[in-house]
Amino acid sequence: MSQAFEQISEQLCFGGTVGIYRHTSSACNCDMRFAAFVPPQAKTQAVPVLYYLSGLTCTEENFITKAGAQRYAAEQGLVLVAPDTSPRGEAVPDEDTWDFGKGAGFYLNATQSPWQTNYRMYSYVVEELPALIAANFPVRGDRAGILGHSMGGHGALICGLKNPEKFRSISAFAPIAAPSRCPWGQKAFTQYLGEDQSAWKDYDASELVLHKADPSRLILIDQGTGDNFYQQGQLLPEAFQIACEQAGQPLSLRMQVGYDHSYYFIATFMGDHIQHHAQALYA
């Protein structure tokens, strides 16, 4: 696993720095990029780290430029890390659609041809990227949280549920909370994982929580009622809520009246999410 990386850009921001970085990924077999905000507190001490997973069509830059998270991370003393959403490059297989292939990695490890060689975003987020961050940034590796939006909300839920020893806190904005039951998830899972739906359960938060519940850890989800993807049945937060109730998993599902699926929605409630993670990571 390579620990070398290249800095593409860096700017001062709220007393800290925002940078874009590139490295060769052994998990995804291509070059990958990520954004990182390092708060001013990290100049003198190692601080907790919060990973953000973006949604369909996004790159490593959407969150760091649109969410307004750096102000809150600077106040709370958290490093923010936002990876790209999928492998990239001419050799990486793709499909001529916005909801599958490049920009739509779904944070799983594909098992079907031709996707299995590169589309291993689960291993990248859970193993390779944290190792790279720990080796090169002033973070406390034992104090990490994870959040995300839409497809990235799905990723945050499954990565957090399956790896409580790595991610102490979880939150999501408008996650694809039951992908086995919605068109987006069914399309992605069929092509990445195959027709056997038993394999899908390992990447479906509403299935995982039934046997991965943690009564000591509160999950925070914000969902806008004006979100057209919610209204179309792509997100299904109520399915996850029912599963949490059955499993005894603490959940705060906040239905935000009138808010849509955009970064305006995310920016509005980002402060609450940063505080949610800071409380857990500094406890």
The residues that are catalytic are 150, 227, 261
Using the 8-state DSSP alphabet, how is residue 196 labeled? Answer: -
CA distance 153 to 63: 13
Task: Tell me if the bond preceding 114 is cis, omega within 30° of 0.
Answer: yes
- Amino acid, res. 54: S
Among residues 148, 65, 239, 193, the alpha carbon closest in space to that of 159 is found at 148
CA distance 27 to 6: 17
CA 58 to chain CA centroid, nearest Å:
12
Burial 169-202 (b: 16+ CB within 10 A, else e): bbbbbbbbbbbbbbebbebbbebbbeeeeeebee
CA distance 139 to 63: 20
Q: Kindly compute the dihedral angle of the four CA atoms of residues 175, 180, 184, 189, in this order, to the nearest 10 degrees.
A: 120
